[in-house]
């Protein structure tokens, strides 16, 4: 009979319990457990692979995005091969009505490089607007009104899925509407303004998941609110202009 003091912990039982909790848990619980699975070695990563395969035809969500990112960050030969074989373009379909390539944005978000992703987002929005916007590197609100909904949904989904549901245009819109479309309240809520002082780019912004909900992606407010108003009021979010 073995000495309880020197008994080897049954790690397989622990992993089985973790797996059961993950599969039966709510989205919030699943997001909390993904780092534990990723830290459980090859067996934990295998659970995440199986989960992604099981839900590969489901609409992308924050749990799938977080699971993908955990495998992406693991960089084991098995994880790399799995992602290249089954999700070569990531979790979110990179759809565009204007043949714009969103793979760079997908990669930056998968890596958790939110600063680079933010820079790429404005670049892609300028690409949507056309040659003049690309040259000036900022947008007119009238250009935003003509953006194809498919592309805005792709950009938004990439941000939402790869931020545990914290970032994206849809999140910002939801907060804006909940605050009665009050911009000053929104700026404070999402950390773009403190009292009368605008948050300074880039060092005063928070480029990780400790940021307030809706903190990213950014929109330049020095020229007023018409661009972001057009963006958050775009018909693609609700089917009609708000």
Instruction: Write out pLDDT tens, residues 22-59.
Output: 999 999 999 999 999 999 999 999 999 999 999 999 99
What residues contact 224, with CB distance under 8 A and at least 6 apart?
none
Half-sphere exposure of 171 (CA within 13 A, CB side): 24
Q: Which of the four pLDDT bands, split at 50, 70 and 90, describes residue 9?
A: very low
Q: In 10 A of CB 59, how many CB atoms?
A: 11
| Structural contact between residues 121 and 104, judged by C-beta atoms closer than 8 angstroms | no
DSSP helix/strand/coil, 61: coil
In this structure, which topology does domain 12-86 adopt according to CATH?
Answer: 1.25.40
* Per-residue pLDDT at 241: 38
| Structural contact between residues 216 and 118, judged by C-beta atoms closer than 8 angstroms | yes
How confident is the model over 201-223, as a mean pLDDT? 93
* Per-residue pLDDT at 11: 58
How confident is the model over 65-71, as a mean pLDDT? 98
Cα-Cα-Cα-Cα torsion 154, 155, 159, 165, nearest 10 degrees, comes to -50
How confident is the model over 152-181, as a mean pLDDT? 98
* Per-residue pLDDT at 121: 98
For the cut 50, the answer to whether the pLDDT of residue 154 exceeds it is: yes
The three-point CA angle 47-51-53 to 5° equals: 120
Q: Which of the four pLDDT bands, split at 50, 70 and 90, describes residue 3?
A: low
Instruction: Write out pLDDT tens, residues 73-119.
Output: 999 999 999 999 999 999 999 999 999 999 999 999 999 999 999 99
Mean pLDDT, the chain, as a whole number? 93
For the cut 60, the answer to whether the pLDDT of residue 2 exceeds it is: no
Strand 193-194 with 197-198, pairing = antiparallel
Residues in the chain: 242
Please report, for the chain, the start and end positions of each structural domain, with discontinuous segments joined by +: 12-86, 103-237
In this structure, which topology does domain 103-237 adopt according to CATH?
Answer: Arc Repressor Mutant, subunit A (1.10.10)
Q: Which of the four pLDDT bands, split at 50, 70 and 90, describes residue 220?
A: confident
Half-sphere exposure of 229 (CA within 13 A, CB side): 13
Q: Which residue intervals of the chain are DSSP H helices? A: 11-24, 27-38, 42-54, 62-74, 77-86, 103-110, 114-129, 131-136, 141-145, 149-161, 169-178, 183-190, 226-232
Q: How far is CA 234 from CA 25, 143, 150, 242, in A?
A: 35, 11, 12, 8
Tokens for 153, please give them.
């949904």
């Amino acid at each position: 009979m073995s000495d309880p003091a020197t008994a080897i912990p049954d790690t397989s039982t622990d992993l089985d319990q973790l797996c059961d909790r993950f599969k039966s848990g709510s989205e919030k619980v699943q997001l909390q457990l993904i780092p534990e699975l990723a830290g459980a070695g090859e067996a934990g990563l295998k659970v995440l692979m199986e989960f992604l395969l099981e839900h590969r035809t489901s609409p992308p969500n924050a749990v799938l995005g977080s699971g993908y990112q955990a495998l992406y960050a693991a960089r084991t030969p098995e994880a790399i091969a799995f992602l290249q074989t089954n999700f070569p373009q990531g979790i979110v379909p990179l759809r565009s009505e204007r043949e714009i390539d969103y793979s760079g944005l997908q990669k930056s978000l998968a890596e958790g490089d939110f600063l680079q992703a933010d820079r790429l987002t404005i670049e892609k929005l300028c690409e949507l607007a056309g040659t003049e916007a690309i040259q000036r590197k900022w947008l007119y609100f009238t250009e935003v009104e003509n953006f194809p909904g498919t592309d805005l949904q792709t950009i938004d989904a990439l941000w939402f899925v790869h931020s545990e549901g914290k970032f994206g245009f849809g999140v910002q819109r939801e907060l804006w509407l909940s605050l009665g479309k009050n911009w000053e309240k929104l700026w404070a809520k999402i950390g773009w303004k403190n009292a009368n002082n605008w948050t300074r780019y880039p060092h005063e912004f928070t480029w990780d998941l400790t940021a307030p909900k809706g903190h990213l992606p950014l929109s330049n407010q020095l020229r007023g609110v018409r661009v972001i108003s057009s963006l958050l009021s775009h018909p693609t979010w609700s089917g009609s202009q708000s």
